[in-house]
A and B are shown apart, each in its own frame.
Chain A
Amino acid sequence: MKSLLFKRALQDILNNRFLNTVTVITIALSVLIVSSFALFFTNANELLDTWKKGIRALVYLNPETTDANRLDLKYNIQKLNGVSEARFISRKEALAQMKVQMGRQSSLLESLKPNPLPDAFEVRLSPDSQTMAAIEKLSKAIELLPHVDEVEYGRQWIGKFTNIINMLRFVGYAMGGLFLVATLFIVANTVRLLLYSRQEEIAIMRLVGTTDRFIKMPFYIQGVILGALGGIIGMSGLYFAFWFVSEKFHRGLSAELLDIHFLPLDVTAGIIVGSMIIGWIGCYLSLKQFLKA
Chain B
Amino acid sequence: MKCHDDALIRLFHVYKRYGAKNALFDISLDIFKNEFLFLTGPSGAGKSTLLKLLYLGESLSEGQILIDRMNLARVSRKRAPELRRKLGIIFQDYKLIPTKTVYENVSLVLEARGMSHKFIQKKVHSVLRTVGMEKRKKSFPPGLSGGEQQKVAVARAVVGEPKIILADEPTGSLDADSAGTIFDLLTNIHARGATVLVATHDAELIRSAKGRVIQLKEGKVVAE
Contact = CB atoms under 8 A, between A and B. Distances in A.
B96 interface: yes
A217 to B, nearest CB: 10
A207 B117 contact: no
Contacts, number: 49
Contacts of B113: 209
Contact of B112 (A4, A201, A214): A214
B81 A204 contact: no
Nearest to A197: B99
Given A200-B98, A201-B97, A201-B100, A207 B112 contact: no
Interface residues of B, number: 25
B205 interface: no
A4 B107 CA distance: 13
Given A4-B117, A214-B112, A209 B85 contact: yes
A1 B121 CA distance: 12
B176 to A, nearest CB: 28
Contacts of A210: 81, 108-109, 112
Interface string B142-172: 0000000000000010001000000000000
A204 B109 CA distance: 11
Contacts of A205: 97, 108, 112
A130 to B, nearest CB: 60
Contacts of A208: 84, 89, 108-109, 112, 156
Of A1, A205, A209, which is in contact with the most chain B CB atoms at under 10 Å from its CB? A209
Nearest to B87: A209
B81 A209 contact: yes
Q: Which of A205, A206, A208 has the most CB of B within 10 A?
A: A208
A1 B99 contact: no
Given A4-B117, A210-B81, A204 B87 contact: no
A200 B116 CA distance: 26
Contacts of A206: 80-81, 84
Which secondary structure dominates chain A's binding surface?
Answer: helix
B95 interface: yes
Contacts of A198: 99
Interface in B61-95: 80-81, 83-85, 87, 89, 91, 95
A265 to B, nearest CB: 37
A206 B81 CA distance: 7
Interface string A203-238: 011111111101000000000000000000000000
A179 to B, nearest CB: 34
Interface in A244-259: none
B57 interface: yes
Contacts of B108: 205, 208, 210
B84 to A, nearest CB: 4
Interface in A71-115: none
A198 B160 CA distance: 24
Contacts of B38: none
Contacts of A200: 97-98
Given A1-B117, A4-B117, A214-B112, A209 B84 contact: yes
A210 B83 CA distance: 11
A163 B3 CA distance: 85
Contacts of B57: 207
B55 interface: yes
Interface in B41-63: 55, 57
Residue picked from A1, A200, A207, A212, most chain B C-beta under 10 Å: A207
Contacts of A211: 81, 112
Contact of A207 (B55, B98, B111): B55
A289 B95 CA distance: 24
B83 to A, nearest CB: 8
Given A1-B117, A4-B117, A207 B97 contact: no
Pick from B91, B108, B156 the residue with the most CB of A within 10 Å: B108
Given A208-B108, A209-B83, 4 more contacts: A4-B117, A204-B95, A205-B112, A210-B81
Q: Which 9 residue pairs spanning A and B have beta carbons closest together?
A: A209-B84, A210-B112, A209-B85, A211-B81, A201-B97, A214-B112, A204-B95, A209-B81, A204-B97
28 contacts: A1-B116, A1-B117, A4-B117, A198-B99, A201-B100, A204-B95, A204-B96, A205-B97, A205-B112, A206-B80, A206-B84, A207-B55, A207-B57, A207-B95, A208-B109, A208-B112, A208-B156, A209-B83, A209-B87, A209-B109, A209-B112, A209-B113, A210-B81, A210-B109, A210-B112, A212-B81, A214-B111, A214-B112
